[in-house]
Structure 1
């Protein structure tokens, strides 16, 4: 697999950040998992989907992973917003002309088609029929989960909005996914993904996914990065627990994660790392890791007092606590 590359967002993140609910991105993530690009999909769910795909549909999937990772030409990407858009997307793909597909393959691969895609170019109408059927089958698996995740998706819009107005988008990005990291203004993409050259980004769209706990899909065009990541709170839903509406919402935990939210709250006065580890009942290494992420986001500072390292909220951390109190 190739290195996924780095997207330069800038330390001040002075750009539009949008959230779009695009169910087709979860479909593409699940297809990637079937092709061997791990997305954190539960084994049972993956097995059921494999059984539902006929040989004809599997043949359509072959070219998608022919470059060693999931790489979808733009015209084949189901980009419609909202669950009701998927029917229209599958119809659009099945009705696509051969010329439209050929032109986009040229743009995507620069005229050097991999052998698997040359077969598509020889029979574009047959491929489009099979591929639209594949999209429809995978969406049939995703749709019930997408509907159950509606409260989580709505909450994600709120979470990103809070980060935007409080100036803490860097903290949110640092906690986006176990396969994506953010530090010093740079968003680092997964290794097992199509390579993206280091590029300055002028616009960022976040797309929460419901496919798996390690899901990641993205596309970068003309300075616009679209990043798909697991919606916060997905794991219990995948385990069959459903999404919960009841109970008060901890907006700080929504943004930072529960452990980092507790650490930031404890930072209202100097506290040692050792005491934090005892209070949180976790290892010193775990506390150090999460404190370092909060420090990179500008919410905490660390200082050494003799043999102890203590943490304390910064002015930015205090402002975030005030905004969310």
Structure 2
């Protein structure tokens, strides 16, 4: 059991974030710990990327060592949904040497709060460590980039839209239901009570930790099935991180559904996918490689159907889709 005591103030600082590198880390972790939960195509893509590009060190380190622990520096703290792959990889490559040493010692020998004996570390990892922690961080950043390009890059637009829709839906739920109820619905093994977040582990009693934090980061994932805890250390850890909880994004497509003939068509589906975040007509035209007139035409239809809303900022009109919760009736024009 992981208990994170946030208190009322810390609960108000809980935020959602996601990045391309988060998704790569999730895929690697699930591939190593529970590959049977991945679809065959995802599993084959990931294995092929690791094998064809010779990413053995990444497979050893990112997959998780004893008790499923994988170094947290491979998943830098992110802000919102705008962190680029390049920015995240730079933070991995420039991780302070003392932080790398601390986390690799944990992966090899068990955390200071977990005395369970570890298996002997793979020689590939020990050999890489002989060249120093800075070299190891840089090498892992390079292998992460190769893995992302081979296994995830072609699929990223769809994954990104799903993650953006997930975060937008949770933000709407917080506004209407409150943060406590929203957090309780994120994962079957995650709950909040009186400012305390609790993550129940698959094997109760094997690992137990309690910590106090001023904030927490929630990261939606298209690969995990249960909440996974990472980050957050006892006092004295070098370069301490905020607690981070990775949770399963809603499996159903967040796009609104309708039976009206006028809403059928690939262009409007693509527009709705982009409108998880507000965009202007010009921005949408650029992203979808359409003329502004074409985008404007389809937006007017979606707006009349009650599927998108318009807001004005200065001289710019922004559009964003209206999300519905499961079971809620569709909006009427």
Please tell me the TM-score bracket, short chain as reference.
0.5 to 0.7
- The 1:147/1:216 distance shift into structure 2, 3 A limit, reads farther
**TM-score, scaled relative to structure 1:** 0.59
Deviation at 1:62, TM superposition (A): 1.5
**Quick one: distance in 1 between partners of 2:69 and 2:105?**
17
Shift of 1:176: 0.4
Instruction: Show CA shifts across 1:28-72 (max 9, x none).
Output: 111101212469432321122101213741233214422231421
Q: 1:51 aligns to what?
A: 48
Q: Deviations over 1:147-191 (max 9, x none)?
A: 213443333333333344446111111110234344554433242
Pair 197,27 (structure 1): closer, same or farther in 2 beyond 3 Å: same
Counting matched residue pairs gives 246
1:122 alignment counterpart: 130
CA separation in 2, counterparts of 1:180 and 1:40? 19
CA distance in 2, matches of 1:214, 1:41: 13
The answer to whether the aligner puts 1:105 opposite 2:100 as a matched pair is yes
* Distance in 1, Cα, partners of 2:225 & 2:253: 6
Offset of residue 13 of structure 1: 7.0
2:315 aligns with none
> What does residue 131 of structure 1 align with?
140
Contact 2:232 2:242 in 1 (8 A): yes
Structure 2 contact 71–107 (Cα < 8 Å) conserved: no
Change (3 A) 1:83 1:145: farther
1:38/1:169 Cα in 2 relative to 1: closer, same or farther (>3 Å)?
farther
Q: 1:78 to 1:24 in 2, by over 3 A?
A: farther
Where in structure 1 are there 5+ consecutive unaligned residues? 263-325
- Residues 151 and 206 (structure 1), Cα distance of their counterparts in 2 relative to 1, 3 Å cut: same
Gaps of 5+ in 2: 110-119, 234-239, 256-268, 274-301, 308-320
Partner SS state of residue 220, structure 1: coil
Q: Which has the higher contact order (CA 8 A, sep 6+)?
A: 1
After superposition, the Cα gap between the structure-2 partners of 1:14 and 1:166, relative to the gap in structure 1 and judged at 3 Å, is: farther
2:15 matched to 1:6? no
The 1:12/1:165 distance shift into structure 2, 3 A limit, reads farther
TM-score, normalised by the number of residues in structure 2: 0.58
